[in-house]
Amino acid sequence: MRCRFALVWLCLSILARIAMAADTDPQAGPDAAAPVAVTIGSKDFTEAIVLGEIARLAAQRHGVEATHRRGLGGTRILWRALLEGEIDAYAEYTGTLAHELLRDMPADAGIEPLRARLRELGLGMADPLGFDNSYAIGMLEDRAQSLDIESISDLAAHPGLRIALSNEFMDRADGWPGLKAAYRLPMDARGMDHALAYRAIATGAVDAIDLYSTDAEIAHHGLRVLDDDRRHFPRYHAVFLFRLDLGQRAPDFVAALGDLAGTISASGMRAMNKAVKIDGEPEARVAGRFLRIEPGAGGRASGPGLLEYTLQHLALVGVSLSLAILLAVPLGVLAARHRRLGQLVLGLVGILQTVPSLALFVFMIPLFGIGATPAIAALFLYSLLPIVRNTHAGLVGIEASLRESAAALGLPARVRLRRVELPLALRSILAGVKIAAVINVGTATLGALIGAGGYGQPILTGIRLDDIGLIMRGAVPAALLALAIQGVFELLERVLTPRGLRLPPAS
Amino acid sequence: MPAASDPAFSLLGVTRAYGAVRAVDSLTLDFARGRTTVLIGSSGCGKSTVLRLLIGLEWPDAGEVRRDGVALRRERMLEERRRVGYVIQEGGLFPHLSVLGNLGLLPRYLGWSAARIRQRAIELAGLVHLDADLLERFPAELSGGQRQRVALMRALMPDPPTLLLDEPLGALDPLVRHGLQDELRAIFRQLGKTVVMVTHDLGEAAFFSDRLVLMRRGRVVQDGSLDDFRRAPADDFVRAFLAAQRGLPEPGP
């Protein structure tokens, strides 16, 4: 028995070691080799990433080494990351600032009032880049023509129209609720990923979607932008937000952002978006062409390879799972020992499981910043329930006569636990760990939203670029990894289950 | 006949209730040292609870359990249990451990060497007539009778002065059971231990001892030999209990 337990420990510690080693690998890619002065973030859509690359290259031109953490997620994640100092700058839109982030500001607040309000938060705002990326509503040209729809007002006459809106737009104060009220629109709308919405409208699955006015697809798919005849949407001037402490740390970077003011027109931005999204050029090259410089050594020639994604993914799953085992097995033992406490523990870890995974990842940002750590923390919390529950069930399921026989021998509780109860519950515990591991492999793909890397990275980028091949480069290995982990655990179960428990019950 | 010294175990006015049901009800009972006492009665009469009280798997709601005239204390219970071997109907063998693993569980904790554990196991295998080749087997690979022999060996490993047996032969088929009865009685006589055995079979009870304690609803109905029961049944329940048992040994001349 002793050697079996030693084997478990050995496996776990090796796994943890591999995971830790992978975890210390920089997430940021090739930039990390150089000394990093500033970190730029970007939301997970093409324009934001192009602007992030422009900022990175502009910084480089001013002699500042900058890291770009690409496609971190939605507005909330970037805003939090900026406030927490996880990133130093990212591109935002004035309308989003006024409506969503600084709710006490008037709807069409000008640059100066916004800047004054941001200063109170320790943030600065560079002058607008020059283009206005407003929300708009679009329909296929033919469809709009046949229904005689030119403005958003005209939609009210067609309650049967199917509208799909980006998830962020669905919830924002200036998004669907405001639009629906302002135009008295009778229909309901569905939430959908923005990149997928274009696919949906092109195939006729939906009738109208929200657009960013600089989206490359507007021309590509032949969409009609409906007139905002009641002037509902505020202006969305693109601006760089940055932490004011950069003034001391990297004044040249602030100057570089200032130099970009007024240099990007709406048509210029739309062309860059098209180059990336429709023509498939790397963002760094597009940004470099705009700045008339070579993307240079810092530019990402190609994405990280499968090996890097795999190591990152294994790190997320392995570390979170190992930590979860260390806490969840004792919790399960505790729950089995004390019935009341047990119900409380099971209830609490059960509640953790009900928190939507994306929300849980975001909740971790204030605590752990962005990157692998908050993702590991979230996955750790998700792993607790199956392991605690199976440990508890395995121990409670031991026949009373066996538990009492061990007690009647005069063995102390800890020896009974180690020599009798845990070995008898081992199969159930392992099954719980297996469930947690397989779930983790899937959930860890969401880690890419908060900069944790892993198989989620190509999936997210693939969704953004509408590139099925790229999505598969993340989704297929993730599925294979889940299968492999399942196999490993079944093997482990066979090795670790005491021989006496594998025998068929005697007559 | 009064005991010469303190009884090995005694219950003094012990009550143990589960909710409204009193499994043991104001029970006072002595177990003589070096003798075999058999508790009999129908299911639920409280006879198993008496055994469980003796090793602290249950604690009295009222009254006191004494060993050698001294009250049992919870904080001393681990040591107390090591002075008592406990065997239950299905043996209670741990399925994940080999026979030797089962036998060695407590001795190993007590610091015995592997050699000493094996030596004692072989010695006890001889005593209970178990093939020593079976020591490496797992419980699932043994017959019912073999499992009960191993359970008895496990109880005897630290050579405790007392053996408590709760229906030790209850799950065995009649032939095996009959053979084991002979062996067990011989072993008990040979070892001279204090034995308390629980059974619902009056014939088996009489075979093992001339002191039977018939229980009903947590109380003693009659305490004596089978002949006493026959000659002077304490009440109608004793008569009914006697009448319900077939194949009892013929009354003595």
CA B240 to chain centre: 25
Q: Rounded distance, CA A165 to CA A208, Å?
A: 8
Q: Which CATH superfamily, name and number, covers A2-25+304-500?
A: MetI-like (1.10.3720.10)
Q: What is the band of A505 on the pLDDT scale with cuts at 50, 70, 90? A: low
* DSSP 3-state of B246: coil
**Fold of the A135-225 domain:** D-Maltodextrin-Binding Protein; domain 2 (3.40.190)
More confident residue, A6 or A39: A39
Predicted pLDDT of residue A174: 72
**pLDDT value of position A16:** 47
Q: Report how far residue A177's alpha carbon sits from residue A173's, in angstroms, rounded to the nearest whole number.
A: 7
Residue A420 CA to residue A408 CA, distance in Å, equals 13
Question: So what's the ipTM on this one?
Answer: 0.88
**Domain residue ranges of chain A, discontinuous segments joined by +:** 2-25+304-500, 35-132+236-291, 135-225
Q: Is the pLDDT of residue A411 over 70?
A: yes
Q: Any idea where the domains of chain B sit in the sequence?
A: 94-159
Q: What pLDDT was estimated at residue B30?
A: 93
3-state secondary structure of A69: strand
Across the interface, whether the CB atoms of A409 and B81 are under 8 A apart is answered: yes
Taking 70 as the threshold, does the pLDDT of residue A17 lie above it? no
Mean pLDDT confidence for A472-491: 93
- pLDDT, tens digit (0-9, with 9 covering 90-100), for A163-218: 988 887 887 777 888 898 899 999 888 888 887 888 888 888 899 999 888 888 88
In DSSP terms, A240 is beta-bridged to A91
> Residue holding tokens 């020593």?
B132
**What interhelical angle do A422-443 and A372-396 show, nearest 10?**
150
Contact A478, A453 (CB under 8 A): no
**Fold match, A35-132+236-291 / A135-225:** yes
Which tens digits make up the pLDDT trace of B157-196? Answer: 999 999 999 988 887 888 888 888 988 898 888 888 999 9
> pLDDT per residue over A119-169, tens digit each?
999 999 999 999 988 888 999 999 999 999 999 999 999 998 999 888 878
Cα B61–B62–B64 angle (5° rounding)? 110
Q: Return the number of CB contacts < 8 Å for A and B.
A: 80
User: Quick check: A423 contacting B, CB < 8 Å?
Assistant: yes
Neighbouring C-alpha atoms within 13 Å toward the C-beta of B122: 6
DSSP state of A397: T
E strand segments, A186-324 = 189-192, 208-212, 223-225, 238-243
Mind listing the pLDDT tens digit for each residue in A359-398?
888 788 778 877 889 999 999 999 999 999 999 999 999 9
Residues of chain B neighbouring A409 (CB-CB closer than 8 A): 81-82, 86, 105-106, 154
Q: What is the mean pLDDT of residues A64-78?
A: 86
pLDDT at A19: 44
Q: Which residues of B touch A504 (CB under 8 A)?
A: 140
The C-alpha atoms of residue B219 and residue B233 are separated, in whole angstroms, by 16
Find where tokens 């410089």 sit: A293
**Nearest CA-CA distance, residue B203 and chain A, Å:** 26
CB contact under 8 A, A405 and B81: no
Residue type, A6: A
Closest-CA distance, A345 to chain B, in angstroms, reads 27
Give the integer Cα–Cα distance in Å for A265 and A275: 15
Å from B105 to nearest chain A CA?
Answer: 8
Q: Which two tokens stand for residue A161?
A: 């129209």
Chain A's closest residue to B97, CA to CA, is: A500
Query: Across residues B12-26, what is the average pLDDT?
Result: 90
Q: What local confidence, expressed as pLDDT, does residue B11 receive?
A: 93
State the average pLDDT for chain B.
89
Give the pTM. 0.72
3-class SS of residue B250: coil
Min CA distance, A341 vs chain B (Å)? 22
Residue A62 phi, psi dihedral angles, 5° rounding: -90, 15
CA distance A140 to A44: 25
Chain B residue numbers touching A5 (CB-CB < 8 A):
none
Judge whether residue B123 has pLDDT over 50: yes
Mutation for A interface: B94, B141, B165, most A CBs within 10 A: B94
Q: Report the sign of the C-alpha dihedral through residues A277, A280, A283, A289, in that order.
A: negative
Q: Which residues of A touch B92 (CB under 8 A)?
A: 401-402, 404-405, 408
pLDDT level of residue A21 (50, 70, 90 thresholds): very low
Number of C-beta neighbours around residue A188 at 10 A: 10
Pairing verdict, β A163-166 and A189-192: parallel
Instruction: Tell me if A411 and B78 make a contact (CB, 8 A cut-off).
Output: yes
Whether residue B248 is predicted with pLDDT greater than 70 in this model: the reply is no
Instruction: Taking residues A90-116, report their average pLDDT.
Output: 85
| Binary contact (B93, A405; C-beta < 8 A) | yes
Q: Would you call A405 and B106 a contact, using CB atoms and an 8 Å cutoff? A: no
**Do A309 and A454 meet the contact criterion of CB atoms below 8 Å apart?**
yes
**Res A5: pLDDT:** 52
Decide if A410 and B57 are in contact by the 8 Å CB cutoff. no
Q: Where are the beta strands (DSSP E) in B62-216?
A: 62-67, 70-71, 84-87, 162-166, 194-199, 212-216
Q: Give the model's confidence band at B220: pLDDT under 50 very low, under 70 low, under 90 confident, else very high.
A: very high
The kind and range of the H/E element at B104 are helix B99-109
Stretch among A27-36, A56-65, B106-115 having the lowest mean pLDDT = A27-36
Q: Is it the case that residue B37 has pLDDT exceeding 90?
A: yes
Q: For residue range A233-279, what is the model confidence (pLDDT) as tens digits?
A: 888 899 999 999 988 888 889 999 999 999 998 889 989 998 998 88
A95 pLDDT tier (thresholds 50, 70, 90): confident
Topology at the third CATH level for domain A35-132+236-291: D-Maltodextrin-Binding Protein; domain 2 (3.40.190)
A411 in contact with B at a CB cutoff of 8 Å? yes
Indicate the helix (H) or strand (E) that contains B37. strand B36-40
* Amino acid occupying residue A12: L
Closest of A460, A440, A438, A322 to residue A375, by C-alpha: A440
Distance from the Cα of B65 to chain A's closest Cα (Å) equals: 16
Give how far A498 is from chain B: nearest CA, Å: 5
